[in-house]
Amino acid sequence: MALTVGLTYDLKAEYLAAGYGAEAVAEFDSKETIDALEAAIASLGHRVERIGGARALAERLVAGDRWDLVFNIAEGLCGRCREAQVPAILELYGVPYTFSDPLVLAATLDKAVAKRLVQSARIRTPKFAVVRDMAGVGAVKIPFPLFAKPIAEGSGKGVEEKSVAKDTKDLARICSWLLARFDEPVLVEEFLPGREFTAGILGTRAAARVVGVMEVEIVATKRGGVYTRINKDECEKLVRYTKLDAGTLRKSIEKLSLAAYRTLECRDAARVDVRCDRRGRPSFIEINSLPGLHPTHSDLPMLAEAEGMSYNSLIGAIVESASARINKRP
């Protein structure tokens, strides 16, 4: 069935032109991503209308515009609930959309909330604490080394080589910098020294399945072994991505990732970041329930391609999963 599909997004170039800095817009999308998405959706036989961000969406809805489905990748600008803004507006107007609902998007952007939820399902994740101010640094009782990062950011924002703390002095320095820079709590967790992976998942509830698992290795040693924003931005020359072949480790990562995806009630697609401890056991680090979709630069399309799934097929699977909710009400 041919659909009219609206496309919601935050275009990086527009925010840069408005005066926002590169770090502030790191999660936003390039024109190349929007062009690729529009072409992929159109290749499925659907008509695509570009909408833009939350404010543009609100204006269109008030004016009476409607779509059969909205393909949403709008990240939002401010607050830990920013990814939930577009889905909440669409639910208000009864318009179905891709990816997870507002509750899930808010809960998964807040890394501590997500970790508490997966812990409740007995899914392995590093020990963690939340530092809300400098007085909270001394209350952290997790053995060093520790890893510190903003509690509700993506795309490597606030993650640098200095994010690994070897002692309390280190931790205080890192937390002071992060609290001042991002004006939000800091997630402090046990640092796992093992291999790092990311798993892509497609589908909803019982139909959810792992589409692929990819190892992430930092090859530029002078930048350290941390998957920083710079490493992400310059991944073509600083990072090695390798498909993880079938075996015991892959089965363990798939089982953990799928369990986390279902526990957090994600829909349509997401990407789960996993790291191994010193014994080689995989642990849940975080989940990206609104994953990047640049055809050659984003992890989900890259790992799907490594498994023989084209970009158009990936987008088609997301649209197909979301289309099952058309004409349905909670």
Residues 151 and 89 reside in one and the same domain: no
The distance of Cα 137 from the centroid of its chain, to the nearest Å, equals: 27
Name the 3-class secondary structure at 192.
coil
Number of domains making up the chain? 3
> Is residue 229 very low, low, confident or very high in pLDDT (cuts 50, 70, 90)?
low
Residue 239: phi, psi to the nearest 5? -130, 140
Domain that holds residue 42: 4-99
- Cβ atoms of residues 174 and 150 within 8 Å: no
Residues 258 and 118 reside in one and the same domain: yes
- Cβ atoms of residues 54 and 89 within 8 Å: yes
Residue 328 is assigned to a structural domain of this protein: no
- Cβ atoms of residues 326 and 69 within 8 Å: yes
Residues 226 and 311 reside in one and the same domain: yes
**Residue 50 forms beta bridges with which residues?**
7
Say how many C-beta atoms besides its own lie within 10 A of residue 55's C-beta.
11
What CATH number does residue 222 fall under? 3.30.470.20
What pLDDT is recorded for position 221? 57
Residues 26-69 have pLDDT tens digits of 999 999 999 999 999 999 999 999 999 999 999 999 999 999 99
What CATH number does residue 8 fall under? 3.40.50.20
- Cβ atoms of residues 266 and 289 within 8 Å: yes
Residues 160-172 have pLDDT tens digits of 888 999 999 999 9
**Residue 272 forms beta bridges with which residues?**
199, 287
Q: What is the pTM of this model?
A: 0.94
- Cβ atoms of residues 311 and 58 within 8 Å: no
- Rounded to whole angstroms, the Cα distance separating 92 from 105 reads 16
**Residue 198 forms beta bridges with which residues?**
214, 273
What pLDDT is recorded for position 223? 46
